[in-house]
Amino acid sequence: MSDAAPPAAEQGPSPRPRRAYALVALFTVVLALAFHPESLGWGETWKLPGWDATRVFWADLVFMRRSLLEGAFPLWNPYDRAGYAFAAEPQSGLFDPITWLVVVVSLPLGSCPSWLIALKALLYYVLGATGVHAFVEQQARLRKLRVPPWATAVGIMIYVVGGRMDKLKDQSGLWPSAWAPWLLVALAWALQRPSWRRGVGLGLVGGLALLSGYPPIPVRLAILMLGPLALLWIVERMRLLAAGERRGYLLDLGRMFAVSLLVFAGLVAAQVLATAQVLPMTMRAELEIGQVLASQIEPRHALGLFAPGASKVSMLLYSGVVAGMGVLAAVATSRDATRWLLLASGVLGFLLACGGNAPLLPLLADLPGFRSFRITGHFVVLSAVACAVLAPFGLEALARGQGSSKVVAPVLAALGAAVFFRFAHEPTAAARVVVLLGAALVGVMPFLARALAARPPWQRAALGWTVVGLLAVDVFLGNRGVAEILQPPPDETRPAMLAAAVRDPDMRMADFSWADNRPGPRTGVRDLVGARPALTDRHYMEVYEDGQRHAGVLRAMGVERAAFGRRAPVRRRLRRNPEAEGMATEIYEVPDPWPRVFFTTEVDVRASDEAAREALREGGPRAIVFGADAQSLAALTRSSEPAFEALAL
């Protein structure tokens, strides 16, 4: 093996771990802001992570802040759609400590500005970067290696500004992805000396990862990376123990996993139960195989490890040529089973991300954990995790200059540069120069190792940090398309005008003029439209579609004012709001909207969902029921006896 121990003076972890974590956090913040200066207002327009971040999740922060000020726990959100169970939506972050930290930060500000959702993303990048540092330090210590800080910085760059992770800055997928390195740390730590305390730690990290946001990512990590690594590390640990110690280790392991499972279950129980209750009524319950297999990623995009492509999809793997060299060097210079298994997990993640464009996911699509989720592109998170923790070890091996590194380094330098120059999409002259210099420096590292060994430490470090600087420029130039996710914050003018036109706080507005912008939670006025994630109720979606065509549905849902972003037949049946003349958005008044709560003995029993919706389009305020319990419910409502105790609303 080439993992020979370095001199004793270079073994062990950093002597000042707290200072190291602080420096990692600072490096992460500077890196993220330097790559996206528009987020600081540098440039023509101030920009923030757009799409889901500002159009969906910012509104969640506003709603949680409003609930906190009102002294209520935000279990139900009345300001979005027809109201929905806020606790049942995992992406709301209701049980996530970092989300609540951001909400608390907003309290003294007097409002909840849009930049707070960018702050949340930045905090998660710091979490992920410190996790990469912790895992590299942990594994290096176990193998009696000393990975230089500049090599760890390459892993951090992959995790913070590499193609896949940088694109996640506008999505809930970032949040559980940031926990992935810490899951690796906690798992390895717990398996070394299993105890109930370490079981608590493992369960705590696992629970926080699941509660942070998008559930498919931690589930996929557990199946494809954590599970195989756990088996490998247990076998490796057993081999190091004497025959008489193995039984005790297995007993401790069983107790540790039992405690971990109890802690994990206790943390996630409320979220899982709330989601499970609404799941059968949502669009997620009708997930089709085509949605599971849909993907824009193709096997040819694997070249993205060394060459940025023409589209955002093809950029997902690109984290710089030097980073790609580090990943391959990690396995080319070592027979360490952990490295090979991490690489296999990364490759498997990429192949699964190809969805129906590769044969693997269609074979597994009917298995639990695969059929349950869509958006196959998030499988690439496994590749990002693997690359981020492998690259530092590969670069450390090349810089050490031992074993096969003198053969591996120039081969990888030639390979990386050749693939970049052949397949990179229209690279600039600056990008070509930077890639060539970076690959050349890494290619000669093993040959300089002996000469630099006698030099002062700062000179050896200077070479490594020069490589990091070249890599940063390479990634900055190569992944500019990913940065386009930054967008100006949503214009509050139109939603504010529409909200102000709603005079009765018990009535709703219907803002069809700005899809998925969620003005309701931000303005404190009930909006019939709102966001429509996968956990949206199917019946609401029917109301949403009908509401754009039938004024009767808007009346039935208590909508007082409506706005449309495109031509819609329903406009002819609404009155132009006289106060909206000259406004940028045409606001329409819904005549005679139904009150949000009313008592009636007029119960109209319909045989089907479609028949009930037809009655909503045409009728006045009355109860319309359908389904298996329709007749009994109608009988209770028409009875002269009080029936409120028998009705579950």
Q: How does pLDDT run across 508-527, given as a tens digit for each residue? A: 999 887 666 788 998 899 99
Beta bridge partners of 487: 48
> Which pLDDT belongs to residue 3?
46
The SS3 assignment for 512 reads: strand
| 12, 141 contact by CB (below 8 A) | yes
Task: Select the more confidently predicted residue: 10 or 340.
Answer: 340
| 336, 313 contact by CB (below 8 A) | no
| 345, 225 contact by CB (below 8 A) | yes
Task: Select the more confidently predicted residue: 28 or 280.
Answer: 28
| Least confident piece of the model among 180-194, 392-406, 604-618 | 604-618
Residues 6+ apart with CB under 8 A from 342: 225, 229, 385, 386, 389, 390
Task: Select the more confidently predicted residue: 41 or 498.
Answer: 498
| Distance (Å) of CA 185 to CA 5, 201, 338, 494 | 22, 10, 13, 48
Q: Report the pLDDT averaged over residues 607-636.
A: 72
- How many CA atoms within 13 Å lie on the side-chain side of 510? 29
> Which pLDDT belongs to residue 646?
44
> Which pLDDT belongs to residue 281?
86
DSSP 568: -
Distance of alpha carbon 431 from alpha carbon 421, whole angstroms: 10
Burial class (CB in 10 A: 0-12, 13-18, 19+), 283: middle
> Which pLDDT belongs to residue 9?
34
Nearest CA to 605 out of 629, 640, 631, 637 is that of 631
Helix (H) or strand (E) holding 523: helix 519-523
> Which pLDDT belongs to residue 188?
96
The answer on pLDDT for 21 being more than 80 is yes
> Which pLDDT belongs to residue 1?
39
Q: Report the pLDDT averaged over residues 397-417.
A: 91
The answer on pLDDT for 8 being more than 50 is no
The SS3 assignment for 603 reads: strand
Q: Report the pLDDT averaged over residues 524-539.
A: 87
Nearest CA to 619 out of 555, 560, 558, 559 is that of 555
Rg over CA atoms, the chain: 28
In three-state form (DSSP H/G/I as H, E/B as E, the rest C), the secondary structure along 130-177 is HHHHHHHHHHHHHCCCCCCHHHHHHHHHHHHHCHHHHHHHHCCCHHHH
Torsion, Cα of 536, 542, 543, 549 (10° steps): 140
Strands 48-49 and 486-487: antiparallel
Q: Report the pLDDT averaged over residues 151-180.
A: 90
> Rounded to the nearest 5°, which phi and psi values hold at 623?
-85, 130
Q: Report the pLDDT averaged over residues 232-243.
A: 93
Share of the chain above pLDDT 90, in %: 49
Q: How does pLDDT run across 554-580, given as a tens digit for each residue? A: 988 999 998 887 655 666 667 766 555
> Which pLDDT belongs to residue 284?
78
Nearest CA to 214 out of 89, 116, 103 is that of 89
Task: Select the more confidently predicted residue: 152 or 286.
Answer: 152
> Which pLDDT belongs to residue 516?
61
> Which pLDDT belongs to residue 40?
81
The answer on pLDDT for 144 being more than 50 is yes
Burial class (CB in 10 A: 0-12, 13-18, 19+), 607: exposed
Q: Which residue has the tokens 């398309």?
A: 481
Nearest CA to 475 out of 167, 122, 21 is that of 167
Residues 6+ apart with CB under 8 A from 39: 33, 46, 47, 48, 49, 115, 118, 486
Distance of alpha carbon 562 from alpha carbon 159, whole angstroms: 43
CB atoms within 10 A of CB 231: 11
| Least confident piece of the model among 70-84, 384-398, 512-526 | 512-526
The answer on pLDDT for 464 being more than 80 is yes
Q: Report the pLDDT averaged over residues 110-118.
A: 90
Share of the chain above pLDDT 70, in %: 89
Spell out the domain ranges in the chain: 24-65+117-483, 493-589, 603-646
The SS3 assignment for 616 reads: helix
| Least confident piece of the model among 128-132, 586-590, 634-638 | 634-638
| Least confident piece of the model among 151-160, 275-284, 559-568 | 559-568
| 348, 466 contact by CB (below 8 A) | no
- Cα 616 to chain centroid distance, Å, stands at 38
> Which pLDDT belongs to residue 225?
96
Distance of alpha carbon 137 from alpha carbon 143, whole angstroms: 10
Where b means 16+ CB within 10 Å and e means fewer, 237-260 reads beeeeeeeeeeebeebbeebbebb
> Which pLDDT belongs to residue 5?
43
- Mean model confidence pLDDT for the chain: 86
* pTM for the predicted model, two decimal places: 0.90
